[in-house]
Amino acid sequence: MEFDFAYAFEDAISAPSLYKRIGVFGSTGSIGKQTLDVIRANPNLFSATILTAQSNAELLIEQALEFKPHAVVIGDTKKYELVKEALKGIETVVMAGEQSLETAAAMDCFDMMMAGIVGFAGLKPTLQAIKTGKHIALANKETLVVAGDVVMLMAQQMGVSIIPVDSEHSAIFQCLVGEKNNPIEKIILTASGGPFVGRKPNFLVNVKREHAIQHPNWSMGAKISIDSASLMNKGLEMIEAKWLFDLKPSQIEIVIHPQSIIHSMVQFKDNSIKAQMGLPDMKLPIQYALSYPHRFENDFPRFNFAKSATLTFDPPDIKTFRNLGLAITALNQGGNMPCILNAANELAVYGFLKNRLGFLDMTEVIERTMANMPFIENPTLEEYFESDGEARNFAASLINL
C-alpha cells in the first residue's frame, strides 16, 4: 500500500484560515487539559467546540462552563443528569455513552479533532471524524497501532491530515517540513527509558504501581506512564511511526536518551541527521499540531544550553524490557499482531494498575496472548475489532479479571 506523506503538508498549507474549531476528545485527561491550556492562551486562533470525558463529570462541567462548546459527551451514562443539570444555563448539547462519541465526531461544529482519548476506545470516534472530513491531531497512538493501514488509507481518501501529537512523532514531522521529495534512510526515536532505566529483572519484579507511575520527565495519564516504564510505549511508537511516515520496520531505530531534550531524529539518504529539540513539555507538540504549518509565540519555559550540560545516548535493553521486544515482533509480523499486542497490553496494564499483576507478569500476559490468537495477514476493519475482542477475552482469562 502506498501512502503519500507529502499530501498532508500541502493540504494543511492551503488551509484557508488560521482559525480552527477544535473537538477535544478526552478533554479531562493529560493531553486534553494541556490542549485546553493552548486554546485558552490563543482565543483568537482556536476554540473548543466539543469536549468529552469518560467519568470525570466535575471537570467536564467546569471546562464546559468556561469554553461553552457546541456539545459535550460524558461516557458514563449514570452521570448524564448531573452534567445536563449543571449545563442547563448554556446552549451546549449534552450526550452520554460510548455511541455518542461517534455522534459527536460526526458533527460539523469542529475542523480538527484532538484525539486525546486513551487506548482502543479512541479508534471509532477518530475513524468517524476522518470519515466526516475533519483533520486529526493524533495523540491516541493506539489508533494507529490497532488499525494503522485502514486509518491512513481512509485519511488519504478523505484528504484529511493526520498531524502527530506524540512528541517523538511531532519531532519527526517537524524534521520533515521542507523535505518533500527527500527519502528517509531511517528515523531514530528517542526514549527517556522511563523511571527504571538501567534496572534489571531482579529489581523490576518487585516494582509497585506507585513507582511505575512516576515518570522522571513527563507528567502523563496512568496507562502511558506504565507503558513508558515497561518500554511498551516505545514499541507502540515504532508501530505508530511506521504508519505515519510509511516506513519499513528496519528503518526505525530506538535510542535511550534519559534527558528527553532531543525528541527524535530523521536521517536522510545523504547521511544528514536532523533533530528537533526542546524541554519536555507536551504543550509544544500540541500547539504545533493545532497551528501547523505555522508557529505561534508562547511563554513555555526555554531550554538553556548553559545550564543543561550533558545529553547521553544508549541502546535499549530489550533483554530486560521484554515488552519492547514483543512490540518489535508484532511490528515485524504485521497483520493483526499489533492489534493483539495492544489489546493484551491494555488488559495487562489495567491488571497491574489494580494490583492484580506484577510488573514483569504483564509481559507474560502479552506474550501468551500473542501466541494464542489466530494470525490474520491482511485484516479488514471488522477483523481488527474481532481480534481486539478475542485478545481482550484471552488476556482477561489469564489475569482472572
- By C-alpha distance, which of 332, 349, 330 is closest to 341? 330
Kindly state the smallest distance separating residue 167's Cβ from Mg ion, in Å. Answer: 5
Kindly state the smallest distance separating residue 7's Cβ from Mg ion, in Å. Answer: 24
26 binds, among ligand NAD, Mg ion, none (CB under 5 to 8 A by kind): ligand NAD
117 binds, among Mg ion, ligand NAD, none (CB under 5 to 8 A by kind): ligand NAD
| Binding of Mg ion by 142 (CB under 5 A) | no
Kindly state the smallest distance separating residue 194's Cβ from ligand NAD, in Å. Answer: 13
Q: What is the DSSP letter of 314?
A: B
Q: Is the peptide bond before 316 cis (omega within 30 degrees of 0)?
A: no
Nearer to ligand NAD, 26 or 193 (CB): 26
Residue 311's Cβ-count burial label (10 Å; 0-12, 13-18, 19+) is middle
Length of the chain: 401
146 binds, among ligand NAD, Mg ion, none (CB under 5 to 8 A by kind): none
Kindly state the smallest distance separating residue 10's Cβ from ligand NAD, in Å. Answer: 26
Beta-sheet strands, E only, within 153-311 = 162-164, 184-191, 252-256, 262-268, 273-277
Nearer to ligand NAD, 20 or 234 (CB): 234
User: Which cell numbers hold the place of 18?
Assistant: 488560521
Binding site for ligand NAD (CB under 6 A): 26-32, 53-54, 56, 75, 116-118, 121, 139-142, 166, 218, 220-224, 282
∠111-112-113 over CA atoms, to 5°? 135
171 binds, among Mg ion, ligand NAD, none (CB under 5 to 8 A by kind): none
54 binds, among Mg ion, ligand NAD, none (CB under 5 to 8 A by kind): ligand NAD
Q: Using an 8 Å Cβ cutoff, are 42 and 296 in contact?
A: yes
Rule CB under 5 A: choose which of 166, 227, 281, 346 binds Mg ion: 166
- By C-alpha distance, which of 352, 353, 331, 332 is closest to 342? 331
280 binds, among Mg ion, ligand NAD, none (CB under 5 to 8 A by kind): none
Q: Using an 8 Å Cβ cutoff, are 192 and 314 in contact?
A: no
Cβ-closest position to ligand NAD: 29
74 binds, among ligand NAD, Mg ion, none (CB under 5 to 8 A by kind): none
Q: Which stretch binds Mg ion (CB under 5 A): 50-58, 69-77, 162-170, 351-359?
A: 162-170
User: Which cell numbers hold the place of 364?
Assistant: 507474560
Site for Mg ion in 297-316 (CB under 5 A): none
| Binding of Mg ion by 281 (CB under 5 A) | no
- By C-alpha distance, which of 111, 107, 144 is closest to 128? 107
* 158/156 Cα distance (integer angstroms): 5
Kindly state the smallest distance separating residue 221's Cβ from ligand NAD, in Å. Answer: 3
Instruction: Count CB neighbours of 363 within 10 A.
Output: 24
Kindly state the smallest distance separating residue 73's Cβ from Mg ion, in Å. Answer: 26
Binding site for Mg ion (CB under 5 A): 166-168
